[in-house]
Amino acid sequence: MKSEIITKEAYKAFKKGSYIVVIQLLEKNINISNNPYDYFLLILSYLFTDKLMQAESALRKALRQHPAFLPLLEIQAFLLLKAAKSKDEACTGYIDILKVSPGNKQITSIITKIQESADFEQFQKKAKVKDFIRVKPPKKIKVVSDRVKRHAIHLKTIALVLAAFAVMISGIVFFPSPLAKLIQEKIELLFTNRSLQTADDLSQISLDGMHYDIIDKIQKVQTPEFYTTNEACIQDFNRAKWLIKEGKENDAMMLLNKIDASNANFRVKERVAFLKDFINRNKERTVAIYSYREVIQKPYLYKGINVKWQGKVANYKKKNGISFQLLVNYSENKFDGIVEVYAPFKVESLDNGAIVTVEGIITNIIGHKIVILQATNIGMNH
């Protein structure tokens, strides 16, 4: 009974756009309930918060246990659509759904739209989660009979889904194409407004004129940051805009991350996403002076921050660029922590044991300790 209550609370949080709250509620609840609907909301929340590795892991686990649960298959099919190279490939996941749900009008309609699209690439790019996946209340979700489970997952489909995740994850690290840029693509998945192009466009993004509370003052689950008044949230939002105009993108990003990790409502976080997108597209970023130890104290504040750290290279690999572990501030077999570094370029003479200075953008932090860094410059320390 308790797990059912948590599921309902997670659904309410999801409808408000409080995806961090959903994750906090359901990560523990799925171990108790093993409810496929919990997996469904959790995976969507992971995707909406750029937690792609967690989403991929949860989807694989969920499909192993609930291979005929339609909402999970819809997520799988949508990811296939976003990564497909042709109309036929894009239809693969939806055809698999028809095997377990014959006559499903929603799925049939999607297949028809894909096949009839005049410009598939544009159709694919503009495809948004809300247009393809309906999130119904938990009591209205039904599981297909176990008798048809054997038809649910095709091996080719699984391979394509994993490929889709690989494309998306590599997009966070290497940014090779518009489709693969999931940080930017997330904006296109969720929202319809055009991207901000210049600093003057920032004036168009405002919290003024909202006719509802900007924050959720009553929350059953604690968020890392909590605003007690609408005014405090508005002040941080407006200051972030001012900092962007002043060229202080890192300071602005920290404030925006604070709002994202707070009890601000979905509409506020929608506007935050646009400002983050504007910062992410700026190639001339200043370097923040935050240390590794500062970052891991409150990691949620530092995603998207441009840092410069020194350390020793370990586990060096060459594949689609380079990757290695940076042992930060290494000295006499002691170091502050491990940073996973990725770069789309090669560095001459770089190898294990080298002492380097790395400048780059923090793209994720795993387990509050392992920082993932997209390098923009790597210098050899001689």
Please give the chain's pLDDT, 382 residues, in tens: 577 888 999 999 898 888 888 888 898 888 777 789 999 999 998 888 777 767 877 888 888 888 888 898 888 888 888 877 788 888 888 888 887 788 888 888 898 999 888 888 888 888 888 889 989 998 755 444 444 444 444 444 544 454 454 444 443 333 333 223 333 333 334 333 444 556 566 766 777 655 457 888 776 568 899 998 889 999 999 999 999 988 899 999 999 999 999 988 877 887 888 888 888 877 778 899 899 999 999 999 999 999 999 999 999 998 778 999 999 999 999 999 999 999 988 888 899 999 999 999 998 887 767 889 999 999 998 7
Smallest CA-to-CA distance from 72 within 37, 106, 103, 105 is with 37
Domain range annotation of the chain: 2-187, 193-280, 292-380
Could you say which DSSP state residue 344 is in?
S
Residues 6, 26: Cα–Cα separation, whole Å: 8
β-bridge partners, 298: none
In CATH terms, is domain 292-380 a member of 1.10.4030.10? no
Q: What is the pLDDT of residue 248?
A: 92
| Predicted local distance difference test score (pLDDT) of residue 98 | 84
- Report the Cα–Cα distance between both ends of the chain, in Å, rounded: 63
Domain 2-187 has CATH 1.25.40.10: yes
Alpha-carbon span 328 to 306, nearest angstrom: 16
